[in-house]
Amino acid sequence: MLKRDFSSPFVLVPLLLLVFPTASVGTLWAQQEQAQHETAATPTKAQSARETVSAFYESYLKALADNRDPFAQEKPFIKHFVASSLIAEIDRRMKSPDGMEADYFIQAQDYLDDWKGHISVREHEKTAKLTPLVQVLVVTLGAKETSSYRLRVTVKKEAGIWKISNVQKLGAL
């Protein structure tokens, strides 16, 4: 017997068009993609700080690669992963006369294609000295030494969920 996977957009969109013939393909496709993006990238109370930061950077870099600005275009996604105080600070900086010279979450003006899919997250040595509600992590982006880029990401628990509260660029390996 032939099994069909109705979760695939290639099956679901044509099927929905049969049911809702007046809906546009673009609208249905966008809604399907948004639902998958939000579901796959929503942190839970059960996730560790490392898992949360890894999921954030996987989704964030994918959005950048798809020519989307997650901070401007995907606020629900950002609110799931980023502390409310940091969101307010970034908003304030963006609206200031000087604006922001770099993307806050990658601490750079652009990213390398090599970063997407090559994300490593480990505890920073400072984590042991902090409270159980704050952790410092080292995020390494890139697979090769020449493309490797390191960030120090501080996370804190907000309503029981780990959220990014600070990002700083680290020196070379």
Joined together, the tokens standing for residue 37 give 């993006």
Q: What was the pLDDT predicted at 167?
A: 97
**pLDDT at position 164 over 50:** yes
Angstrom distance (rounded) from CA 158 to CA 172: 31
Contact 65, 110 (CB under 8 A): no
- Judge if 49 and 92 occupy the same domain: yes
Are 118 and 141 spatial neighbours (Cβ–Cβ below 8 Å)? yes
Q: What is the CATH number of the domain that holds 56?
A: 3.10.450.50
Would you state the pLDDT for residue 136? 94
Instruction: Assess whether 51 and 35 both reside in one domain.
Output: no
User: Which stretch of 6-15, 91-100, 105-114, 122-131 has the lowest confidence by average pLDDT?
Assistant: 6-15
Confidence category of residue 43, pLDDT binned at 50, 70, 90: low
Domain holding 36, by residue range, is 9-40
Taking a C-beta distance cutoff of 8 angstroms, is the pair 164, 153 a contact? yes
- Count of domains for the chain: 2
Average pLDDT of every residue of the chain: 79
Cβ contact 163:44 at 8 Å: no
24 and 74 belong to one structural domain: no
Q: How far apart are CA 123 and CA 153, in angstroms?
A: 10
Q: Report pLDDT for 143.
A: 84
Residue with tokens 């044509």: 14
Question: Which neighbouring-strand residues pair with 162?
Answer: 157
Residue 11 φ then ψ, to 5° = -95, -40
Q: Are 127 and 136 in contact (CB under 8 A)?
A: yes
Q: Are residues 144 and 64 both part of a single domain?
A: yes
- This prediction has a pTM of 0.72
Question: Is the per-residue pLDDT at 29 higher than 90?
Answer: no
> What pLDDT, on the 0 to 100 scale, is given for residue 31?
46
Domain match, 76 and 133 both: yes
Residue 103 has pLDDT above 80, yes or no: yes
Q: What is the pLDDT of residues 46-89, one digit of tens each?
A: 689 999 999 999 999 999 999 999 988 999 999 999 999 999 99
Is 3 a domain residue? no
- pLDDT number for residue 10: 45
